[in-house]
A and B are shown apart, each in its own frame.
Chain A
Amino acid sequence: MNTSTDDMIEVPLYRAAHGRTGDKGDRSNISVIAWHPELYALLAEQLTPERVSMQFRHRAPARVQRFLLPRLHAMNFVLDAVLDGGVNDALNLDAHGKALSFLLLDMPIRVPRALAPLLAGP
């Protein structure tokens, strides 16, 4: 993007996208779905597996994979070994990791001011 910093605003990801967590064993998948097709490209540019891995550093994922679904304006992140053993082994109150989508949706992203009307919420 060529936009200068002044033309960008930083917002939490949940204003640009929604998502849900699923689990199988010790693996979590988190969908990120753009609220508007025009927001998808900037999500794909900024939500790299490296950045997502950093957001989950305390859970120490063994691997973070990203799958792009441009027709759904969505992406799917798959985080290995992030559930402290999974539903049967974890000591966590949320052993499924159901809340993890909200840790991802709390990441800051930068959005061109011109696209601000497409963002959800206040």
Chain B
Amino acid sequence: MNANAPPPLLIGCAAGFSGDRTDAAGPVVDTLIARLASGPAGQRAFLIFETLAERTLALAQLRRRDNPDAGYEPLLDAMLRPVLARCLAHGIRIVSNFGAANPRAAARHIARMARELGTDAPRIAVVEGDDLSGAAHRALLHETLGAQMEGLRIVSANAYIGAEPIAAALDAGAQIVVCGRVADPSLAVGPAMSHFGWRADDWHRLGRATMAGHLLECGAQVCGGYFADPGYKDVPGLDTVGFPIAEIDADGHSSIGKADGTGGLVSEATVKEQLLYEVHDPSAYLTPDVVADIAEAEVRALPGRDRVELSGVRGHARPSHYKVNVCHEGGWLAEGEISYAGPRAEARARLAAEVLRKRLDGLALRVDLIGALSILGDDAGRMLADTPDTGLRDVRLRVAATHAERAQAERLAREVMALYTCGPAGGGGVRTALTSRLNTLSCLLPREAVPVRFELLGAEALA
């Protein structure tokens, strides 16, 4: 590495999904401030929040339909307010996809929050171009999806865009960058590109930063969250599990640690689990920025506690197409539950399921016996059929089905309710639910067809 290269960049992550803990950011920001104070001159720090999953954007679009000022992360205020003033005061810049379906409304909310906190007005940028749900893009999607599009009521359509507009917004001086559907690791790649001045085809460096971003993107998961398994994988202080902080150098190499004074742990085991999380071919982890390659990657615990180094990551030229997720209305999900207890409870629950199967012809019914088999089984019921009655004395029957028509789905609720008087002995505690479904389709669109941009918002836009 060049001796004149800037010192390593610090990136903390304070959310791994919409609905994550809202008190996560505090210790991350405190740690970043302490590290900046004791670190080398010229060190910089970022805070990222990752709040989108496959269906989060569709739910955000539905909220925006009801209210043009909604459609961004519902917990934005709770997540950001406790740390916003400190971030601004210490030069910690913020990058997030919490804009969801309405980045401009999120930016306005942040500006309002800053006014209420009495800070100087922050320079806020929005990244746009990912949202393809408008009429203007209908023909484009139709070209790609063809007959699959017929009759679909589309709720959201978003391209997974990359780090370039984030880096450009930061280069232009943004202190806060609000995105919609950018690829999760790009939240970390954008700051690294901007800070180190990497080119958009510097594949190895981009690949390394992408995997650092991948370790960060699920929040606590790399710090012992989602890891604990008593007696096999013991995690200290899981109730106060910390959120991660990565240190990325000018060549993209990284180490990962966590916020000071928090629970959890960062070990070779936690890092390996997160490194492979949601990866398919390890030599080709596709993002809009690069094809990252961890086939030869290594992780090594560093001296001291809770620090692990990632090395051996490579990168290859980025894909020519963006992945696009299209979410559409998908009919109705009906669920019903009833409990049986005491002698022969499992036999009575199994009989109730048989009654429902016969009564609900035309609905493909999923049957679970909570307490016996309710998670690992399959929709077709093959595993349940192979699992003998084990004589459970406390079991809850759950049935579920979907149908395009609401009235058909509603039959399930009525039949489960009727078990109160028409079914096996001793059934109690019926609960039923009817939920409208969202289904997804994926396709690829050439990058040229999806122009992305950023805009540094002026005072009028933020009023």
Contacts and interface: CB of A to CB of B under 8 A. Distances in A.
Interface in A4-29: 14, 18-20, 22-25, 27, 29
Contacts of B272: 31, 33, 72, 74
Contacts of B282: 67, 69, 76
Contacts of A99: 375-376
Nearest to B233: A18
B232 A120 contact: yes
Size category of the B interface is: 35 or more
Interface string B370-403: 0000111111001100100000000000101110
Contacts of B55: 87-88
B280 A29 contact: yes
Interface in A60-103: 60, 65, 67, 69, 71-72, 74, 76, 78, 84-94, 99-100, 103
A86 B275 CA distance: 22
A91 B338 CA distance: 17
A23 B280 CA distance: 10
Nearest to A58: B383
A22 B277 contact: yes
A121 interface: yes
A20 B221 CA distance: 10
A115 B39 CA distance: 45
B273 A18 contact: yes
A100 B376 contact: yes
B375 A89 contact: no
Contacts, number: 118
Most chain B beta carbons < 10 A, residue from A67, A87, A88, A89: A88
Nearest to B442: A25
Interface in B213-251: 226-227, 229, 231-233
B297 A93 contact: no
Contact of B276 (A74, A85, A100): A74
Contacts of A72: 272, 275-276, 297-299
A58 B279 contact: no
B438 interface: yes
Nearest to A30: B276
A84 B376 CA distance: 11
A31 B277 contact: yes
Contacts of A121: 231-232
A117 interface: no
Contacts of A33: 269, 272-273, 276
A59 interface: yes
A93 B374 contact: yes
A60 B377 CA distance: 11
B294 A69 contact: yes
A65 B378 CA distance: 20
Most chain B beta carbons < 10 A, residue from A31, A60, A72: A72
Interface of B: 54-55, 226-227, 229, 231-233, 269, 272-283, 294-299, 312, 327, 330, 333, 366, 368, 374-379, 382-383, 386, 398, 400-402, 437-440, 442
Given A65-B280, A89-B439, A92-B366, 4 more contacts: A22-B278, A31-B276, A88-B439, A88-B440
Shortest 6 CB-CB contacts between residues of A and residues of B: A22-B278, A31-B276, A91-B366, A58-B383, A91-B400, A84-B379
